[in-house]
Amino acid sequence: MITGSLVAIVTPMQPNGQIDWDALERLIEFHIAQGTRGIVAVGTTGESPTVTPEEHIQCIQFVTNKVNGRIPVIAGTGANSTAEAIHLAKGAQAAGCDAHLSVSPYYNKPNQRGLFAHFSAIAAACDLPLILYNVPGRTCSDIAPETVKKLAEIPHIIGIKEASTIERCRELLRICPADFAIYSGDDPINCQIIHEGAAGAISVTANVAPKLMASVCELAKTDFAAAKAIDDCLQPLHKQLFIEPSPAPTKWALAQMGYIKNTLRLPLVPLDEAHYGCVEAALSAAHIALPKTV
């Protein structure tokens, strides 16, 4: 089972919108050096809806090659078309990833029978371990706990990233098999739900505070008071990294830290200047120093 702090890594881009491969390599080395336990490549935080299928698989392959087995790589392979999700899953398997993460279909709003059929078809088409991803606030598609429980019985479906409520995470921990991994997908609850039995977190905050997030996820299992003390410092960051549509605040912060350029693909736009101070204050609360010149 993959455990600990797993970063939902951003996809760096050049001012012309092309993927910035040098910056992506810098981020990979940054995360490995800082103790991140796994990298989720081209998930929704990686702007997966706006990369082409060819870029998507190329990026997964790049991350897998650069990581070179040092930590697990989980490929984002979700789509609102089952055929496209299978295509991406097969690409991730060919790239040598350790697992893949598939978000529930968005916009078309399948019912529970449709969700079960969608994920069952992906699991049947590809041997790569599959982590479900439930984020109803973004997709308007909610994988019900009973549907998750049924999906957990299917070979290759090994876990879920749950990004709704702590109560839902608790219900999944209660009803799903012990070897089915529950990952927090909501940074403010990471510490508490890992303490209660979740395998880890797939984190946006880990993009800018990887060492601290790694410590929270590890200590939450063994020293909750110490983990909570660190997490309390991260709470402003958990909040401010979503002050505008993600990953705009995160990319701005990483640009200030000197790792990437502050570029996104439309329809997302860079963080509004009115929010610079809030994000910078949250970085300061987490004791993340910015270079004097950027």
Q: Any binding-site annotation on 50?
A: no
Distance CA 20, CA 7 (A): 18
Domain contains 100: yes
Domain contains 232: no
Cis before residue 267, ω within 30 degrees of 0?
Answer: yes
Which structural domain, as residue segments, surrounds residue 127?
Answer: 4-222
Distance CA 215, CA 225 (A): 12
DSSP helix/strand/coil, 110: coil
What is the per-residue pLDDT across 230-243, written as a single tens digit (0 to 9) for each? Answer: 999 999 999 999 99
Distance CA 84, CA 62 (A): 20
Please give the C-alpha separations between residue 264 and each of 44, 47, 119, 270, in angstroms, as whole numbers. 13, 8, 30, 6
DSSP helix/strand/coil, 164: coil
Please give the C-alpha separations between residue 155 and each of 87, 102, 177, 265, 270, in angstroms, as whole numbers. 19, 15, 13, 36, 41
Distance CA 289, CA 294 (A): 12
Domain contains 155: yes
Q: Active-site residue among 90, 161, 251, 259?
A: 161
Domain contains 255: no
pLDDT at 18 over 50: yes
Number of domains in the chain: 1
* pLDDT reported for residue 294: 42
| Catalytic (active site) residue 161 | yes
Distance CA 84, CA 180 (A): 25
CATH number at residue 198: 3.20.20.70
Q: Active-site residue among 90, 133, 183, 259?
A: 133
| Percent of the chain whose pLDDT exceeds 70 | 99
Domain contains 77: yes
Domain contains 230: no
Q: Any binding-site annotation on 45?
A: yes
Residue 121 near residue 82 (C-beta atoms within 8 A): yes
What is the per-residue pLDDT across 37-89, written as a single tens digit (0 to 9) for each? Answer: 999 999 999 999 999 999 999 999 999 999 999 999 999 999 999 999 999 99
For Cα atoms 96, 68, 214, give the angle at the middle one, nearest 5 degrees.
Answer: 105
Domain contains 37: yes
- Which amino acid is it at 162? E
Domain contains 162: yes
